[in-house]
């Protein structure tokens, strides 16, 4: 099993960050660099416990589908999606949110096992881990931009 952990700090409230991270259309927007789109399951709105969605995108030069189900949910602190069908033998993505002095710390933990035994382990070290890290960093930077823009809109929204 391989594990990847990335953290990013948002200057935005925890509830906003949590909800944006589970919004399927925001996911597609933040993963546009892989041409991510929804091809099955929940196609709009916020993912809840038990929801499933199928994403299709280009990863490592190959168009792939990844079906996931939300298996744990504790708003606004954590949700977990687990692969039900896709290129991996097994994949689990934990999204954790923690309030900090001036915003929210988001921690992504991806655990996976590639197929093909030893060859899969070699691929993980040479390709998969680097690809997943790059994907996650790009996605999280875009999510940060969206969250901080929306937090500012709410903060400076004219009354009346």
Residue 13 has pLDDT above 90, yes or no: yes
H or E element: which one contains 152?
A: helix 129-155
Q: What is the SS3 assignment for 60?
A: coil
Q: Percent of the chain scored above 70 by pLDDT?
A: 96
Note the pTM of the prediction, 2 decimals: 0.92
Who has greater pLDDT, 154 or 70?
70
Residue 157 has pLDDT above 70, yes or no: no
Give tens-digit pLDDT for 58-114. Answer: 998 899 999 999 999 999 999 999 999 999 999 999 999 999 998 999 999 999 998
The hierarchical CATH code for the domain 2-155 is: 3.30.530.20
Q: By the 8 A CB rule, do 50 and 72 touch?
A: no
> Rounded mean pLDDT of the chain?
93
* Angstrom distances, CA of residue 133 to CA of 6, 14, 124, 137: 8, 23, 12, 6
Q: What's the pLDDT score for residue 60?
A: 86
Q: What's the pLDDT score for residue 127?
A: 85
* Angstrom distances, CA of residue 76 to CA of 10, 49, 116, 129: 14, 13, 37, 28
Q: What's the pLDDT score for residue 158?
A: 61
User: CB within 8 A of 88, min separation 6: which ones?
Assistant: 112, 113, 114, 115
Q: What's the pLDDT score for residue 160?
A: 54
Domain extent listing, the chain:
2-155
């Amino acid at each position: 099993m391989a594990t990847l952990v990335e953290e990013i700090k948002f200057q935005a409230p925890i509830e906003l960050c949590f909800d944006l991270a589970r919004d399927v259309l925001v996911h597609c927007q933040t993963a546009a660099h892989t041409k991510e789109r929804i091809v099955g399951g929940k196609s709009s709105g916020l993912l809840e416990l038990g929801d499933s969605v199928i994403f299709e995108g280009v990863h490592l030069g190959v168009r792939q589908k990844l079906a996931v189900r939300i298996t744990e949910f504790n708003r606004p602190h954590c949700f977990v999606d687990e692969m039900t069908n896709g290129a991996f033998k097994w994949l689990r993505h934990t999204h954790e949110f923690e309030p900090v002095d001036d915003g929210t710390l988001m921690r992504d933990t991806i655990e996976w096992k590639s197929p093909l035994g030893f060859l899969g382990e070699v691929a993980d070290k040479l390709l998969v881990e680097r690809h997943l890290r790059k994907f996650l960093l790009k996605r999280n930077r875009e999510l940060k931009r969206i969250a901080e823009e929306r937090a500012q809109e709410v903060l400076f929204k004219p009354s009346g």
